[in-house]
Structure 1
Amino acid sequence: MGRPRTPLLDRRRIGAAALKLADEQGALSIPALARSLGVAPSALYYHVTGRDEIIALMREELILTSDLSPDPSQPWDRALEDWARSYRDAFAAHPGAVPLLAVAPLAEPFMHAMYERVAGLLLDAGFAGEHVLPLVTALESFVLGSALDLVAPSVMLSGVDREAAPRLSAVLDQGSAGGGRAERAFELGLRALLTGFRALLGEPPPRDAAAPAEPEAAR
């Protein structure tokens, strides 16, 4: 038999398969990835040096299939809000990969390019240089947690004794009314973060910053 016209493996296929595997199993191993691709583990090493590079390919696949670049033509707070939403949507589509991607070093040039745009956005808005990285880290931590919250149970606190915790019981009743817990938490949390960011610049909140937007679909 002749050689196949197209190779069985390439880096893009490996990254996509690793994302799928992480979603399905919540973990990543070289043997499991090789089985999912129908190849021997040794075949992967023609394309990658090891697990760390596979995680980098997962991140690259996520970037290639999502729009994660802030729009510099927008006001800084609107651009940052849109970036946070697109970031959460991208990770929410692959919740099993979040624990892997969240702790892997960001050594890829395409990630550096994205953060360069975010840093430029904040610096141009007038934020002090020493505040930029903590602000981005705080926003990302919130976004990653919100992505995981989308696939968490709709009720996280259960079996609460109403007599022992009457105030907690009351807010649980209020918080579950109407559904959409994760969406409402994201909207409120994002608004609070951006309000705090504006306060660092001495800016007032926008006129339309009233109640958080209602979720499109209830959880």
Structure 2
Amino acid sequence: MGRPRTPLLDRRRIGAAALTLADEKGALTIPALARALGVAPSALYHHVSGRDEIISLMREELVRTTGADKVWAQPWESGLEDWARTYLSAFAAHPGAVPLLATAPLAEPFMHAMYEKVAALLVSGGFTADKVLPVITALESFVLGSALDLVAPSVMLSDVSRDTAPHLSSVLEHTPADPGRAARAFDIGLRALLTGFRDLLAP
């Protein structure tokens, strides 16, 4: 039959399939990924060295939409907000991958290049060097949690007794229970973070 004109596997396809698998199963294994791609596990090792490199490919897929082509020449507040919202959209589309991507070391040069842009944005905005990484970490932690919240049920608190929790009951009465709950919480949280970051600027 001869060799196929298009290779069955390439690194981009492996990364995309791994993201899909993580979303569907909440986990990633080499045998499961090979089955999803319709190949033997040994075929994957022609393209990747192992699970860590596959997670790196998953990151690369997400980075394509979280800063590779962003315009960074803007004030730090609008730059951070833009980055956070783009980051949120990417992770919300792949919530099953969040635990994998959030706990694996960031050793990839393309990740370093993105963080270099964020660091330059903050330094040029007046943040001292010792504040830059904590600001980035705090923002990312908030975004990752918000991404999971976006795919959670629209009603998270239920069966609250007015007798035992009167204040909470009153709060719930004034809080719409609809799919926009998580998005509104993200907007409020992001505004609070940006306000707090502003207080960290040197006088």
Instruction: Tell me the TM-score range normalised by the shorter chain.
Output: over 0.9
Deviation at 1:178, TM superposition (A): 6.4
Aligned residue in 2 for 1:4: 4
Which position in structure 2 is the counterpart of 1:168?
168
Change (3 A) 1:54 1:131: same
Alpha-carbon distance in structure 2 between the residues aligned to 1:202 and 1:120: 16
Spell out the pairing of 1:53-72 with structure 2 (5 A cutoff).
53-64=53-64, 66-69=65-68, 71-72=71-72
**Structure 1 residue 51: Cα displacement:** 0.6
Aligned residues: CA RMSD: 1.5
Match of 2:18 in 1: 18
Counterpart in the other structure of 1:91: 91
Alignment of 1:44 with 2:44, yes or no, is yes
Percent of residue pairs identical? 74
| CA–CA separation in structure 1 for the residues paired with 2:142 and 2:112 | 20
CA distance in 2, matches of 1:177, 1:151: 14
Per the normalisation by structure 1, the TM-score is: 0.88
Question: 3-state SS of the aligned residue for 2:175?
Answer: helix
| Residue equivalent to 1:81 | 81
How far apart are 1:128 and its partner, in Å? 1.1
1:216 corresponding residue in structure 2: none
Give secondary structure in 2 for the equivalent of 1:71: coil
Residues 57 and 129 (structure 1 numbering): CA distance in 2 closer, same or farther, change over 3 Å? same
Q: Which contiguous aligned blocks of 4+ residues in structure 1 show a shift greater than 4 angstroms?
A: none
TM-score by length of structure 2 reads 0.95
Verify the 8 A CA contact 2:155 2:177 in the aligned structure 1. Answer: no
1:145-201 CA-partner distances (Å, limit 9, x unpaired)? 111111001111222111000001111221226662101100000000000111122
Amino acid corresponding to residue 32 of structure 1 in structure 2: A
- Gaps in structure 2 of 5+ consecutive residues: none
User: Number of paired residues?
Assistant: 202
CA distance in 1, matches of 2:174, 2:98: 30
